[in-house]
Chain A
Amino acid sequence: AQTVTQSQPEMSVQEAETVTLSCTYDTSENNYYLFWYKQPPSRQMILVIRQEAYKQQNATENRFSVNFQKAAKSFSLKISDSQLGDTAMYFCAFIRGSNYKLTFGKGTLLTVNP
């Protein structure tokens, strides 16, 4: 079974600082993608960043970057220069090529403090 584990239920960070959210996953497949989704209080699910499993280079989107360690099955999200608008629930997710099933972790609630 494919699983996604987020070991930090809650985190907080001061505005303008950097924070890293952890995620590990388990799969026997070689063809897959990893994602981080953000869910602000509006509850909308917003795609933050994606990583292709066959690419060694870590993905970056503005202030968001990932540290993808394929052998360790680790996929952490780093948020630089945290802003108040980054306050949200963050979900790590994994999609496999065999059936397009998107599997989520339980989420990390991030609070950015002024």
Chain B
Amino acid sequence: EAQVTQNPRYLITVTGKKLTVTCSQNMNHEYMSWYRQDPGLGLRQIYYSMNVEVTDKGDVPEGYKVSRKEKRNFPLILESPSPNQTSLYFCASSRQGLNYGYTFGSGTRLTVV
């Protein structure tokens, strides 16, 4: 089944403890992206990648890191999480061609205490 897989689905952590949210897609998509969703703000892009080793900042990149060493994987790294990073996170991927839109993972609910 074609899908974007995120892990974990839920995570509670403490301020300052480094964490990684994994994202993997099995569709050989070139484009991958991370979003955070907050009430009243919609989805805001954190980082995106146009292909292996090509990444760029989105609208809210502060406090996050990403890497794209393999085409299928695009992990999101929080080096020192803070409570304002408590949010619902989505990974998404797309093949080349604007009309395909993005396929989303199931989301990761992160709580930083």
Contact = CB atoms under 8 A, between A and B. Distances in A.
B40 A45 contact: no
Interface string B28-63: 000101010000111111001010000010100000
B94 interface: yes
Interface in B71-106: 88, 90, 92, 94, 98-99, 101-104, 106
Contact of A106 (B35, B40, B90, B106): B40
Nearest to B40: A106
B50 A104 contact: no
Interface stretch (A12-20, A63-71, A78-86, A95-103): A95-103
A102 B50 contact: no
A76 B88 CA distance: 26
Contacts of B33: 101-102
Contact of A102 (B45, B99, B106): B45
Given A101-B48, A106-B41, A32 B98 contact: yes
Contacts of A104: 35, 42-44
A43 B45 contact: no
Contacts of B103: 47
A102 B102 contact: yes
19 contacts: A33-B98, A43-B106, A44-B104, A44-B107, A45-B90, A45-B107, A50-B99, A52-B98, A91-B42, A100-B48, A100-B98, A101-B48, A101-B58, A103-B45, A104-B42, A104-B44, A106-B40, A106-B41, A106-B42
Interface of A: 9, 31-33, 35, 43-45, 47, 50, 52, 91, 93, 95-97, 99-107
Given A99-B50, A102-B102, A106-B40, 7 more contacts: A47-B102, A52-B98, A91-B42, A95-B102, A100-B48, A101-B33, A102-B33
